[in-house]
Amino acid sequence: NKKGGGVVLVPKGLWLTGPIELKSNVNLHLQKNAILQFTKDFDQYPLVASNWEGLSQMRNQSPLWAVNQTNIAITGFGIIDGAGDAWRMVKKDKLTETQWKRLVASGGIVGEDKKMWFPTEQSVTASKMKNPGEITPDKTPEFYKSIKDFLRPNLLVFTSCKRILLEGVTFQNSPAWNIHPLMCEDLTVRNVYAKNPWYAQNGDGIDIESCKNVLIEGSTFDVGDDGICIKSGRDAAGRKRGMPTENVIIRNSTVYHAHGGFVIGSEMSGGAKNIFVYDCSFIGTDIGLRFKTTRGRGGVVENIFIKNINMKDIIGEAILFDMYYAAVDPVPLTGEKRDAPKIQLLPVTEETPIFRDFYIDNVVCDGASKAVFVRGLPELSISNITLNNLHIKAKEGIDLQEAKNVKLNNVNLTVNDASPLINIQNGKDISFTNVKYNSANLLFRIGGENNSAIKSSGLDASKAKQKAEFVAGATENSLQINK
């Protein structure tokens, strides 16, 4: 960097290192068969002011770190390993019995409820606190040092950098998130493999936060949390930052295990817009297209364009919009019981999130628990959603709650349980055009007192044993079938 830039070459071999700070005009290049192994010695990672989950946080310095740099790159054919197993807590329910016994025998501490393993006592202590790493005036340097082991770094954090290239390299085994560009411009991620164990706590693939002008292409993600995720800050801090993630292209990429294939949220308080996702495949992910937020976030997510998505063996929903995100795994663990969120009408404020103007075209899904699930807020519906050319095989069909101006055109559903095929709760201006299905006990269930202008055309109602039922104050004049 001091000589004007150049290439730092990592030759083939196994190289043990502490954190690396990238400087402007430098390309960190890994030759084939090079393994860059970050140390498990926590003392090598100084505590630094950083940002995680949308808040200003004290964290251990990320293994790969850059701030306010220009023209930086990590390229080549090697593997970068973040030593994440030394940092992460592990949920018992995410391992086999043999894996759990082996983990416990390796050392560490099992939590009081016997459901979680922690690598150190500091991790146990801090896990009982709310946002222990958040930077607040009442916390001293000594406090952060006392919980240092808990403050897991993301593998890569580039903050306020410009003209970034990540190409060809495998990023694996991250302590928390894997790749985290924050407030960056002109980012290219090409032919990258982001890999984490399926049990990796907070083991996201890539989290693009408050960035603009981004291209992700030809990349593969097989991780423990969300695969490809768009974020822009959390709650008041994100709204104050006011930097949406915008002008993003994601194409020709594959996501295997992940909580979601392509995800927006839940920390999207600065907004997201002008995002294009096409020619991607999701195989075995918990949810295919996952858009999540909750009250308190605020922010506007709009102008999202998605096309040519192939999915297979999706555990939850193929397409999900949910404004009641509860910070839990998208699919309940074995034996886990969850109550539906309490529905109440609240005033619209700056804390009310907005999802609008989504255009999704040509989605093929072979296997999901539900084809489409949309759940908005009673005070502000999810609006202007267009779903064209869906071919989905799932256990259940379509569920729209608190949604407005939703258009579904040329939809082909093969479902196991069509009781009903389409459920609508307080929907307005909902249209179904050329919907085909295998069979249904009940075609429509309309619920709630705030339904209007629900229409279908080109829908063969004769294949259903019952056309419609109206519950919880819904009236028959809210639905028109083929009129």
**Catalytic residue list:** 225, 259
Q: How many Cβ atoms are within 10 Å of 279's Cβ, its own excluded?
A: 14
Q: How many Cβ atoms are within 10 Å of 304's Cβ, its own excluded?
A: 24
Which one, of 237, 240, 290, 247, lies nearest residue 266 by Cα? 290
Report the Cα 391 to chain-centroid distance in Å.
23
Contact 285, 256 (CB under 8 A): yes
The single residue listed with the structure tokens 């009310």 is 352
3-state secondary structure of 291: strand
Phi, psi angle pair for 320, to nearest 5°: -135, 130
Contact 27, 8 (CB under 8 A): yes
Contact 189, 215 (CB under 8 A): yes
Q: Where are the beta strands (DSSP E) in 96-191?
A: 109-110, 116-118, 156-159, 162-167, 170-172, 179-182, 185-190
Phi, psi angle pair for 348, to nearest 5°: -80, 125
What's the rounded Cα separation, in Å, for the pair 169 and 172?
A: 10
What's the rounded Cα separation, in Å, for the pair 413 and 392?
A: 5
| Beta strands 109-110 and 116-118, pairing class | antiparallel
What's the rounded Cα separation, in Å, for the pair 183 and 160?
A: 5
Which residues are within 8 A (CB) of 180 and not within 5 positions of it... i.e. 6 or more apart? 62, 154, 156, 157, 158, 206, 207, 209
Give the torsion through C-alpha atoms of 234, 288, 258, 416, to 10 deg.
130
- What is the longest distance spanned by two Cα atoms in the chain? 77
